[in-house]
């Protein structure tokens, strides 16, 4: 347990706050900063401790995928000596906790929120492990990574083959001897594959439909080009896919060892065994879809498309930048493997890296669609007094990252300040009418 805020228990003596923030990560801390600036009393309830997810839910060699200069918590940008580098896990924890120590939010650690409901008075009831709180506004800043996804057919795998989710992976040494199958090629999946491969483990990889991105192109970090091009300012309401952009898998690359792109074809040449998407398990037999080459091609098309966009920007701006050779596919599958006996292949561990599902069952309000995803516009729910923060594409690409959290947090604080001012004005009006009567 963190001791950053061990002397904050006095905040629990009060049970009536205008705003309750649920979650003490970078999203909850950011909106607290702006609420403090607005002079709005509030409390931040954190189930474990500040920066817990960064400290406890990442593998040992984890680092940021985006450069350090994109770390822009409110009035607290990255100030280290390596803006072009990628912070390691412990450095990320230090960054978030340093922000908390500077801003001194009214956060109480070790408090679980059990449910949120509407009272007859119209206010919201926040039931917690430290008692009930009454409030007019609840900001949900818990992130959307609640329930690790493991398919039901995984239960049919023989018990002696170890299965873990990516959230529980720490290092190759924790796994039994033998070969490892990683399922999923989002950012986590490809980085775990590389972590195991560099450690000398024999790795198998189920390749899904995730896109990939260049790391450095034409002499410059690709994210710097995209920043100049205004890509990160694109809002979800202007995105060609609209709200479906929130369902897209992140482009994979890595910040490891100074940052580099990940070409799965090159890993295949180095001995990593590639398969299509996992389809089913029957005993020790693993079955795959015949989509390996398509998924590789689709990822490469996105990769090449980003390069083309940068090329067009360079040409339009008349920028003098080095020219790079055209992309060439280093490897292609001669024949796709559709079934594999895990025991015969020597696979002793499967790591599921296929994502998470949100779990908002504790919010007893009509704020969700048929799939359990929250409905909102820039984080403002159609349910009065309910808000969401820190989710991917809440408003822009950076909404779920250090890059865009400050803008989103300030927007919600401004909305709440406006609503509070309106409520105060209405109350004063009613009191004036009563006195006049």
Q: List Cα–Cα distances, 218 to 263, 264, 292, in angstroms.
A: 18, 21, 29
How far is residue 386's CA from residue 305's CA, in Å, rounded to a whole number?
Answer: 39
- Tell me how many degrees the CA angle 346-351-355 measures, rounded to the nearest 5: 155
How far is residue 400's CA from residue 144's CA, in Å, rounded to a whole number?
Answer: 10
Residues sharing a CB contact under 8 Å with residue 278, sequence separation 6 or more, in sequence order: 151, 183, 206, 286, 287, 288, 289
Query: What does each of the 437 residues of the chain score in pLDDT, given as a tens digit?
Result: 456 787 888 999 999 999 999 999 999 999 999 999 999 999 999 999 999 999 999 999 999 999 999 999 999 999 999 999 999 999 999 999 999 999 999 999 999 999 999 999 999 999 999 999 999 999 999 998 899 999 999 999 999 999 999 999 999 999 999 999 999 999 999 999 999 999 999 999 999 999 999 999 999 999 999 999 999 999 999 999 888 888 888 999 999 999 999 999 999 999 999 999 999 999 999 999 999 999 999 999 999 999 999 999 999 999 999 999 999 999 999 999 999 999 999 999 999 999 999 999 999 999 999 888 999 999 999 999 999 999 999 999 999 999 999 999 999 999 999 999 987 655 555 545 544 55
Q: Which domains does the chain have, with CATH numbers?
A: 9-146+358-433 (3.50.50.60), 148-219+249-352 (3.50.50.60)
How far is residue 197's CA from residue 55's CA, in Å, rounded to a whole number?
Answer: 24
How far is residue 73's CA from residue 27's CA, in Å, rounded to a whole number?
Answer: 9
CA 435 to chain CA centroid, nearest Å: 53
Q: pTM for this one?
A: 0.94
| CB 284 within 8 Å of CB 343 | yes
């Amino acid at each position: 347990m963190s001791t950053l805020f061990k002397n904050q228990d006095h905040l629990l003596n009060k049970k009536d706050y205008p705003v309750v923030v649920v979650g003490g990560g970078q999203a909850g801390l950011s909106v607290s900063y702006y609420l403090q600036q607005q002079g709005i009393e509030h409390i931040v309830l954190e189930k474990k401790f500040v920066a817990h997810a960064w400290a406890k839910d990442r593998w040992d060699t984890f680092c940021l995928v985006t450069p350090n200069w994109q770390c822009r918590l409110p009035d607290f940008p990255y100030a280290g000596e390596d803006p072009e580098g990628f912070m390691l896990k412990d450095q990320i924890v230090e960054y978030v906790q340093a922000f908390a120590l500077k801003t001194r939010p009214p956060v109480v650690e070790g408090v679980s929120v059990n449910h949120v409901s509407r009272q007859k008075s119209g206010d919201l009831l926040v039931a917690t492990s430290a008692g009930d709180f009454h409030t007019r506004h609840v900001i949900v800043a818990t992130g959307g990574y609640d329930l690790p996804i493991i398919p039901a057919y995984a239960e049919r795998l023989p018990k002696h083959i170890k299965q873990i989710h990516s959230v529980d992976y720490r290092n190759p040494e924790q796994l039994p001897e033998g070969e490892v199958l990683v399922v999923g090629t989002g950012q986590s999946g490809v980085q775990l594959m590389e972590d195991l491969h560099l450690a000398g483990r024999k790795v198998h990889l189920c390749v899904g439909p995730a896109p990939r991105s260049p790391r450095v192109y034409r002499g410059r970090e690709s994210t710097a080009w995209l920043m100049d091009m205004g890509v990160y300012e694109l809002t979800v309401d202007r995105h060609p896919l609209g709200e479906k952009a929130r369902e897209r898998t992140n482009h994979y690359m890595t910040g490891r060892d100074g940052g580099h792109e990940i070409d799965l074809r090159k890993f295949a040449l180095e001995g990593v065994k590639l398969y299509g998407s996992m389809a089913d398990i029957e005993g020790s037999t693993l079955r795959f879809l015949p989509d390996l080459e398509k998924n590789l091609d689709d990822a490469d098309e996105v990769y090449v498309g980003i390069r083309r966009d940068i090329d067009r920007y360079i040409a339009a701006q008349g920028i003098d930048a080095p020219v790079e050779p055209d992309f060439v596919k280093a490897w292609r599958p001669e024949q796709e493997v559709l079934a594999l006996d895990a025991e015969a292949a020597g696979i002793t561990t499967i790591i599921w890296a296929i994502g998470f599902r949100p779990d908002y069952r504790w919010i007893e309000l009509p704020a969700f669609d048929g799939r359990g995803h929250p409905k909102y516009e820039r984080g403002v729910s159609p349910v009065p007094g309910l808000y969401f923060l820190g989710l991917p594409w809440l408003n822009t690409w950076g909404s779920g990252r250090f890059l865009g959290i400050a803008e989103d947090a300030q927007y919600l604080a401004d909305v709440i300040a406006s609503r509070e001012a309106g409520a105060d004005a209405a109350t004063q009006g009613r009191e004036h009418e009563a006195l006049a009567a």
